[in-house]
Amino acid sequence: MSAYHIISSEALDIVTIYNIFKDNKKLKLSADSEAKVLACKGYLDTKLADNKKPMYGINTGFGSLYNVKISNSDLSQLQENLVMSHACGTGERVPESVVKVMLLLKIQSLSYGHSGVQLATINRLIDFFNNDIFPFVYTQGSLGASGDLAPLAHLALPLLGKGEVVHKDKDYTAAAILKEFNWEPITLEAKEGLALLNGTQFMSAYGVYLLLLSHKTSYLADIIASISLDAFDGRLDPFHDLVHQVRPHPGQRKVARRFNEFLKGSEIITRAKQHVQDPYSFRCIPQVHGATKDTLDFVEKVILTEINSVTDNPNIFHEEDLIISGGNFHGQPLALALDYLKIAMAEIGNISERRVFQLVSGLRGLPAFLVDNPGLNSGFMIPQYTAASIVSANKQLASPASIDSIVSSNGQEDHVSMGANAATQAYTLIRNVERVIAIELMNASQALEFRRPLKTAPFLESFLAQYRNVVPFVKADRVLHYDIEASIQFLKDVDIEIEELFLNHYDLK
């Protein structure tokens, strides 16, 4: 297996990115990418020398200052000033795992040779990536339209020896880390600051990270819901393939087939039932979980298009002898997709909480609140409250960020996407969903013990055996906060084969 991923014109996909991070691969520019970068930079240098006309962001001010011409002798200072003045992020620090994706995506976008940057600038970003040097980036400050200006300014600051970074869990000033590695600060040239700051790499990095997290969470939700179905003495009829052949949404069919696989060999699911139907939170799992999976498929397509694109401005087309000021930095495609992702993943939490409610309600031979001697013991009464609180918070987070816009830059930037807010909201929301399905796992595993000596399916028994090493059966009241936290950590630690995570190839023939 190669220790390197070669940055080239070959499109990145989610599995490739996953493997880069899983295998801790380092990056290299391909010879073809180097040639494109050098050709574009050479063209821009010639254009500046021969052309006295104003070219936005190259020899002019920025935003509403687009008509202020800057002399050639000040172009380097112009770009450095741009980076410093735009580093206005605040709020919490972006997780290092997301910052590392930002570095990868910024490198990829600049490598196409339409941005006019120095080769040395891209190589220094590669140095940061390869040595796990992560600039401090903050969650608040981007409108998601003129690029992710504030977050990307913080990503770029250490190139200049400014700002802060984290390396091997230790914080450094950028000046100190450059000295540690014997690197000189980069002196930015014409357009470079704008190329570094314009772009959607904050939103799209969150998108990549959240897509991976959502696929895993969605898959685990299927496993946990299948345990709940058996623990609730539910019926398998709604998962029959004929039902889904006549309404063949791909995600729906995938979930139905998956449940039949998960529950194969269960002694509970096949026994005679006293009831002819289950509540919707059980009966409609294929339709609800499946719709989320189809949404993930759509979101993945949007994100893949974005991460394999040039999103700074202006765009340089040296072979056509054109420098065109456009709007590829506008984050509307990502904003809408991330809002859709929020809604879809919130529904996984919503329906999970309803199953928790059903399991503690004292139905179908289960004790009230899933504990012996209820009354003296409150059992699993309050975890359902916790789940209800979380899903209510998620309903607020799922409100679309993209329907908002605020005028900025003195009216020049008069419509913005707010996709960065959608991204950070989605991060919080999906982490919340992890907590809700962890509570469902607590309840479902507890309920299943009251069906003994009957066993569920071998696959689920194996999954539960691992879980029971972390969270034992609750015989009497104890501090359940620790069990909830242990359940959340268990789901984070579960190793799922990547082939199980990606559902864009449904194989439903």
Which residues are catalytically annotated? Answer: 56
8 phi/psi in degrees, rounded to 5:
-150, -170
**Amino acid at residue number 281:** S
Neighbours of 357 (CB within 10 A): 15
Return the beta strands (E) in 257-404 as ranges.
315-317, 322-324
CA distances, 505 to each of 221, 307, 381, 407 (Å): 19, 20, 40, 41
Strands 4-7 and 26-29: parallel
HEC string of 382-422?
Answer: HHHHHHHHHHHHHHHHCCCHHHCCCCEHHHCECCCCCHHHH
Q: Are 357 and 226 in contact (CB under 8 A)?
A: no
Name the nearest CA neighbour of 341 among 306, 291, 393, 299: 299
End-to-end Cα distance, the chain: 33
Residues whose CB is less than 8 angstroms from the CB of residue 440 and which lie 6 or more positions away in sequence, other chains included? 224, 225, 228, 352, 353, 355, 356, 387
Please identify which residue in the block is written with the tokens 């200006």: 149
Q: How far apart are CA 479 and CA 408, in angstroms?
A: 50
**Residue 343 belongs to what H/E stretch?**
helix 332-359
Name the nearest CA neighbour of 451 among 278, 268, 237, 305: 268
Residues paired with residue 165 on neighbouring β-strands, in sequence order: 135, 172
**Amino acid at residue number 452:** R
Name the nearest CA neighbour of 50 among 321, 315, 325: 321
**Amino acid at residue number 319:** E
**Amino acid at residue number 360:** V
Q: Give me the DSSP letters along 78-136.
A: HHHHHHHHH---EEEEPPHHHHHHHHHHHHHHHTTS-S---HHHHHHHHHHHHTTEEE-
Structure tokens at 218: 């969605």
Residues whose CB is less than 8 angstroms from the CB of residue 402 and which lie 6 or more positions away in sequence, other chains included? 332, 335, 336, 338, 339, 417, 418, 419, 422
CA distances, 447 to each of 122, 125, 181, 372, 450 (Å): 55, 52, 56, 11, 6
